[in-house]
Structure 1
Amino acid sequence: MKKVAFIFPGQGSQEVGMGEAFFEQSKDVQSQFLKADELLGVPLTEYMFEGPVETLTKTENAQPALLLTSASIAGILKENGIQPNMVAGHSLGEYSALVAANAISMEEALQLVQTRGRLMEEAVPTGQGSMAAVLGLEAETIEGVTSEIRDQGEIVEVANYNCPGQIVISGTKAGVDKACEQLKERGAKRALPLNVSGPFHSRLMKPASEKFQQTLGQAAIHDADVPVYANVTAQPIKEENKIYELLIQQLYSPVRFEETLRNMMEEDLDAIVEVGNGKVLSGLVRKVNRRMKTFAIQDPESLQSFIEWYKED
């Protein structure tokens, strides 16, 4: 039996048309999507298939849309007898990972991420927070610059350690702008503002995390069936109390994705499989270790290709 890890994409991977091919081919997927519309009280399926893109990209819509697509594909893989040996997700994707590990039901997770998205949107007034991707600089240099700017009274810090040479910063607009200028002076190839609605994974998300704690406290979280590598620690966890604690911290802590991938790769995997819309994470895997076999499952063709490989002797 092959040893595989499933990884699940986060916000930014959404696009109009996502999940539609699976919806057309599977009665189970149709049922899940329509149930999600009813549960969330919004025509999520319509936003996913028809847009407009501005509506789909709203955090409170994008998050459940991405989770629904990822969890549906993971469900099809399960029906085909394919279970991951371990899972991880990038930010929002951690909820898809927890669904795949049977720690949270899909219905519960959809409601959690809808609320999470709304609270993240509300935490900082529009235009006051920002994020930027910094390319071609060491983490230590970026951490040093952001620390200096915090000493000057602005908020900016590392939000995502994605892969070698790609780190995302987050904070106030003024703090991020100042950091981008200084990081270019220190040798960054590029410092690109991201099209996001808030300063995610920064201390500015603490008010959202405090409100979210009440919602999460009412959710039925169970021990995971397989190790889930947590964003906050990059370490595997299975215990429900640890899952709860780290999901709260995750909102305002950096995503340690490069470290997560390196830790997973130490487990002698045959492949790392991106489950959900887009190919962003499989690209990060190759930047960490180009010899690692990867798959990105986002449509029936890529699903079939992976199943055939998995079942080869």
Structure 2
Amino acid sequence: MKQTAVVICPGRGTYNREELGYWGRYHADKKAFIAAIDHYRQGLGQPSIEALDGSASYSLNRHGVGENASALIYACALGDFADIDRDRYDIVAVTGNSMGWYLALAAAQALDAETAIKVVNSMGSMMQEGVIGGQLVYPVVDEAWRPVPAMREQLLQQVAAVNQLADCEAYLSIDLGGLMVIGANQSALNELKSRLPPVDGRYPLMLAKHAAFHTPLLASVSSRAKSMLSSKLFTRPALPLIDGRGHIWQPFATDIHALYDYTLGHQVVAPYNFSSVIEVAIKEFAPDKLILLGPGSTLGAPIGQALIKHNWLGLSNKPLFKQRQSDDPFLLAMGQEEQRSRVVN
């Protein structure tokens, strides 16, 4: 008997040193798919996915820049999506985090293959003349992944205080389970990093090669994207799509122009609420499994933290989530070999 699944597409920051060679390991047989991507990139004078993925070593300055990172993640994630065993899983909805929204559009066929790489590559390349601002990550959960309202309030208070300073702009960028991502200009990032109490010797964490995504600082990017990309590139999705507000776009009730406006408008300049995405996924679709596409599995923790927030399946803390993942995983991350084997043929 088939199990139902909501598929989650990853965003930026998921193709790192450990993922080098991911395409070659799992998708070397998908010649036509990769040829179309590489043909498009060749026309722009960009390195092919096969060349990037097959590099002898990982370089942040090569693999981590927008147009290369976005295309690598797109190729690997959509390759994984094609490998899901449809005899075992009935995909009831598709969603993603941040850049993963563009991937979700492709997986749900709201963008065809030729259009999807154009959108993904264009949005990834949009700031090639200079990254606008940056992102800082800070936790709002305890060691057991339980929400700590005081930590969230403290962070938001510091953001508000920094915004009172000259030449400082900071905004909530992504609500990421137990993490809050702040998008800001450099002055505000420096202030926040100096003001926020250190946590676990890791936070506040500055994300390399990331712009102030999902904030008003990217208004110019939104305008440029709309001037470059037409609404005619979009079509109604074949599967339900959950966007960054938690809104569901149904196959037979989607206004294509509204989907276009959201994707290149609101989604670019307003916060992306991944926590709400997971809440809608579990409460509206009640899937047997969540399937996280590769490369990597860094979204595993934020997804687990979102499940704990709602006590889903009785998961009230990190140890219980880890135990469930060991015994009978609810979340299947295709970037992890053992869990991947439960998803593919």
Aligned to 2:312: none
Q: Within 5 A, what are the aligned runs for 1:122-161?
A: 122=129, 125-126=130-131, 129-136=133-140, 138-153=151-166, 154-161=168-175
Aligned to 1:311: none
Q: What is the CA distance between 1:167 and its match in structure 2?
A: 0.7
C-alpha spacing 1:300/1:145, structure 2 compared with 1 (3 Å): closer
Aligned to 2:334: 297
Question: In the aligned structure 1, how far is the partner of 2:339 from the partner of 2:189?
Answer: 38
Question: In the aligned structure 2, how far is the partner of 1:97 from the partner of 1:184?
Answer: 36
TM-score computed with the length of structure 2 as normaliser: 0.79
Question: In the aligned structure 1, how far is the partner of 2:305 from the partner of 2:189?
Answer: 25
Matched, 1:215 2:212: no
Q: What is the CA distance between 1:78 and its match in structure 2?
A: 6.4
Aligned to 1:228: 241
Matched, 1:250 2:267: yes
Q: Please tell me the residue identity of whatever aligns with 2:138.
A: V
Flag as ranges the 4+ runs of structure 1 deviating above 6 A: 185-189
Q: Which of these residues, 260, 280, 301, is aligned with residue 283 of structure 1?
A: 301
Q: What is the CA distance between 1:300 and its match in structure 2?
A: 7.2
Q: Please tell me the residue identity of whatever aligns with 2:7.
A: F
Point out the more displaced range, 113-122 or 99-108: 113-122
Q: Which has the higher helix share?
A: 1
Question: In the aligned structure 2, how far is the partner of 1:216 from the partner of 1:138?
Answer: 40
| Partner SS for 1:209 | helix
C-alpha spacing 1:269/1:82, structure 2 compared with 1 (3 Å): closer
Residue correspondences, number: 300
Q: Which of these residues, 109, 119, 142, is aligned with residue 112 of structure 1?
A: 119
C-alpha spacing 1:35/1:185, structure 2 compared with 1 (3 Å): closer
Structure 2 unaligned segments of length 5 or more: list them.
141-149, 308-320
Contact map agreement 2:84 2:343 (CA 8 A) in 1: no
Give me the identity figure in percent.
16
Q: Please tell me the residue identity of whatever aligns with 2:36.
A: K
Q: Please tell me the residue identity of whatever aligns with 2:186.
A: K
Q: Which of these residues, 15, 26, 30, is aligned with residue 22 of structure 1?
A: 26
Q: What is the CA distance between 1:200 and its match in structure 2?
A: 2.1
Structure 1 unaligned segments of length 5 or more: list them.
309-313
Q: What is the CA distance between 1:169 and its match in structure 2?
A: 0.8
| Partner SS for 2:233 | coil
Root-mean-square deviation (Å): 2.6
Q: Please tell me the residue identity of whatever aligns with 2:120.
A: V
TM-score computed with the length of structure 1 as normaliser: 0.87
C-alpha spacing 1:189/1:92, structure 2 compared with 1 (3 Å): closer
